[in-house]
Structure 1
Amino acid sequence: MTQSASPGPLAGIKVLELGTLIAGPFCARMLAEFGAEVIKIETPGSGDPIRQWRVLKDGTSLWWSVQARNKKSLTLNLKDARGRAIARQLALEADIIIENYRPGVLEKWELGYAQLQAVKPATIMVRLSGFGQTGPMRDLPGFGAIGESMGGLRYVSGHADRPPVRVGVSIGDSVAALHGVIGAMMALRHRDATGGREHGQGQMVDVALYESVFNLMESLVPEFDHAGVVRERTGGALPGIVPSNTYTTADGENIVIAGNGDAIFKRLMLAIGRIDLAGDPGLARNDGRVPRTEEIDAAIQAWCDGRDIAAALTVLKAADVPAGKIYSVRDMMTDPQFLARDMFEQHHFPDGTPVKLPAISPKLSATPGRTQWMGPTLGQHNDEVLAALGYSAAQIAELRDGGVV
């Protein structure tokens, strides 16, 4: 894939990443994809644990190729005062600092928001944690799974007669990361509007994993507060919006059909040969369809039982009814829509082995993001970053010999 020559909308923005695994690094990754210079601090010798997660290539996670693309890896021993001094220097030069340690850890290292803000009022720090920087749970460990559970997502995921299930990816961490990106951009806009890098007003962006998940929970709160309704697990169906469910075709494929708009419902019923339901005045509106959900779903499933997914999609497409197969990654890699939208990028490992990465989203028309390099080797940019801070080759060698980098 030919990469855009655009430097990206965040060119010139410096970001310091102090974090591991998913939430903080994903937040920084998105900024790096759109042109920010991201310096990622890693522990000498081991690095970010995600380097060894899931499927490996030559001892390094394939996930790392994506999660750390465009980042500069700097190893620093933050238990050493010299390492902390370097981190502090980088933090005071950065436009944005992203961290996902437990609350209080950075303060012990004299890298906390208040400590930096006292020296540089324009400091912007994105803090991602399980439960936020305040409250009785602030000091507890909080992984994405806990945020998903406490934030309400797990409770409504799965079938009513079975225990809750997880989404197949680390959605809690990733949603928190996106909230971090949004907060960082708002804070950056405010800083620039109040005096810029030198004299502007920075701020702390406090992102809690459970609150990020909670923010996605639609009408959960007013429905309970006003009507006493507790949203429950409903499998593949969208409760209270009918019909919208997952059905199985004759060839065993799963198909999602969303015929919940009033006009769409009528077109769907005509397409599946249920003229009686299409003309039933009691089903003309959603509030009339909800009490008859089982009847409607049974009619759609009976129709799906008689045809394979390709035939079903052909009919539904002709009727202008929203429908789609549930894709595996194998389906994605050959799908015309994915290919037309250039959703895969071709890259190569250092040994020349080709590998595809997901393309960058969202797509900006004038300043799109781009992959400049895949996840770096551990400490790959030590000399470059330290030299930019004013360290001589001899000083860098001394730091290396002392186990600081």
Structure 2
Amino acid sequence: MNAQTSSSIPPQALAGIKVIELGQLIAGPFAGKTLADFGAEVIKIEPPANEAGPGGDPLRQWRMLHQGTSVWWQVQSRNKQSVVLDLRTDEGREAVRHLIDEADVVIENFKPGTMEKWGLGFDELSRSNPGLIMLRISGYGQTGPYRERPGFAVVAEAMGGMRYLNAEPGRVPVRAGVSLGDTLAALHGVIGVLLALQARHASVSEAAPKGRGQVVDVALYEAVFNCMESLLPEYSAFGAVRQPAGSALPGIAPSNAYPCADGMVVIGGNGDSIFKRLMIAIGRTDLSADAELATNPGRVKRVGEIDEAIGAWTAKRPVGEVVDVLNAVSVPVGRIYSARDIAEDPHYQAREMIVPVTTHDGLTVQVPGVIPKLSATPGLITRRAPTLGEDTERVLGRRRS
């Protein structure tokens, strides 16, 4: 599957929605990418080259490059158009203001106050475009005592509670290996934009023929914190400070990673009936019949004993055998995938989650497919990521006409 031509594109959920993306790097652009995948017209504004650098979103230069451009760029900026404007100049700000006047959504992830400094704050923009929705992603949000602090995902993950838990007991906390704080903020931002579009539709009236827009304010640390499950309720109710537990899931048993003869697997045997099937499969009928272990509270009390029994069984078998045996009795189990495992997995292929795209200079790159899967208005990859300023003349010329 490659990028589809316009003649083969089925109806898309966000067709007719116009987005101006002013953000850079990960959070704002990931939100823009997600909206673009479902048919929104996303015009990405990028800075021009100058004596300080090559211009464009810095992500173009991040990680592994092909002929000077990151292959990551093919994921983050697919389905978008690239327009070069210098927002530090009056001319650049005037041009982008005209584009925003015609837009439904503007995305920005600058430090709070930057857009206002440029004369592009929501109050000013909404005077000429009352239906405008502005997604603002920042480290700490647009209000509060920390609003002006610089915020990256690594800090948000720490402040949001994730980094504290992401460690082996007694060891230094580690990061997940990807910028989860940015991605979680982007997804919360997309949810906010969709809610605001619905609210705008519901507010259409004679006085507001396009409906009323609003600001969607997303803080990186809040997006992380929102995913921390029982962390705060347990502290507020019992004074319990949840501690790192490595690959286990405290309070839910058994759920852990276990050594095999040639690698590792993860097993989730924490459902009551699942636990019984798991214990029978590993030859521990004594544990499957133990009344105390019939429900989760009893298993939590004896999780060490249970993990030891499972680990003793997996350690004598290769990963493939463990996976086959447990799948056969409907116990959730999985190998720990590397990039190679993902690329070669038939289920990923069947679900169209491995999609080849061709860059402007002919390199074929596999990128993640589109999610979620919509039956009637599916998301699609319709064009490769743009070169810097590829659409400037066409987009600005179209506006002037």
With structure 2 as the length reference, what TM-score do the two structures score?
0.95
**Residue 388 in 1 paired to residue 392 in 2?**
no
The CA distance in 1 between the partners of 2:389 and 2:360, in whole Å, is 16
1:357-376 equivalences in 2 (<5 Å): 357-376=367-386
1:217-296 equivalences in 2 (<5 Å): 217-251=228-262, 253-296=263-306
Shift of 1:161: 1.6
Shift of 1:232: 1.0
The CA distance in 2 between the partners of 1:60 and 1:207, in whole Å, is 29
**Residue 349 in 1 paired to residue 359 in 2?**
yes
2:106 paired residue number:
97
The CA distance in 1 between the partners of 2:357 and 2:232, in whole Å, is 45
**Residue 40 in 1 paired to residue 44 in 2?**
yes
- Residue identity opposite 1:133 in structure 2: Q
Q: Secondary structure at the match of 1:355?
A: strand
1:394 paired residue number:
none
With structure 1 as the length reference, what TM-score do the two structures score?
0.94
Q: Secondary structure at the match of 1:118?
A: helix
Shift of 1:7: 4.3
The CA distance in 1 between the partners of 2:173 and 2:17, in whole Å, is 42
**Residue 154 in 1 paired to residue 160 in 2?**
no
1:200 paired residue number:
211
1:28 paired residue number:
32
1:159-174 equivalences in 2 (<5 Å): 159-174=168-183
**Residue 175 in 1 paired to residue 179 in 2?**
no
In structure 1, which of residues 56, 81, 84 is the aligned counterpart of residue 65 of structure 2?
A: 56
- Residue identity opposite 1:206 in structure 2: D
2:17 paired residue number:
13
Shift of 1:116: 1.2
**Residue 320 in 1 paired to residue 324 in 2?**
no
The CA distance in 1 between the partners of 2:397 and 2:60, in whole Å, is 26
The CA distance in 2 between the partners of 1:274 and 1:235, in whole Å, is 25
Shift of 1:351: 3.2
In structure 2, which of residues 329, 349, 352 is the aligned counterpart of residue 339 of structure 1?
A: 349
Q: Which runs of 5+ in 1 are unaligned?
A: 392-405
Q: Secondary structure at the match of 1:162?
A: coil
- Residue identity opposite 2:321 in structure 1: A
1:160-191 per-position Cα deviation (integer Å, ceiling 9, x unaligned): 12011101111000000000000000000111
Q: Which moved more, 1:31-40 or 1:352-361?
A: 352-361
Percent identity, aligned pairs only, is 55
Q: Secondary structure at the match of 2:161?
A: coil
Supply the RMSD in Å over aligned alpha carbons.
1.2
The CA distance in 2 between the partners of 1:57 and 1:280, in whole Å, is 58
In structure 2, which of residues 292, 300, 314 is the aligned counterpart of residue 304 of structure 1?
A: 314
4+ residue runs of structure 1 moved beyond 3 angstroms?
196-199
1:233-268 per-position Cα deviation (integer Å, ceiling 9, x unaligned): 1001010101000001011x1100111011111111
Q: Secondary structure at the match of 1:283?
A: helix
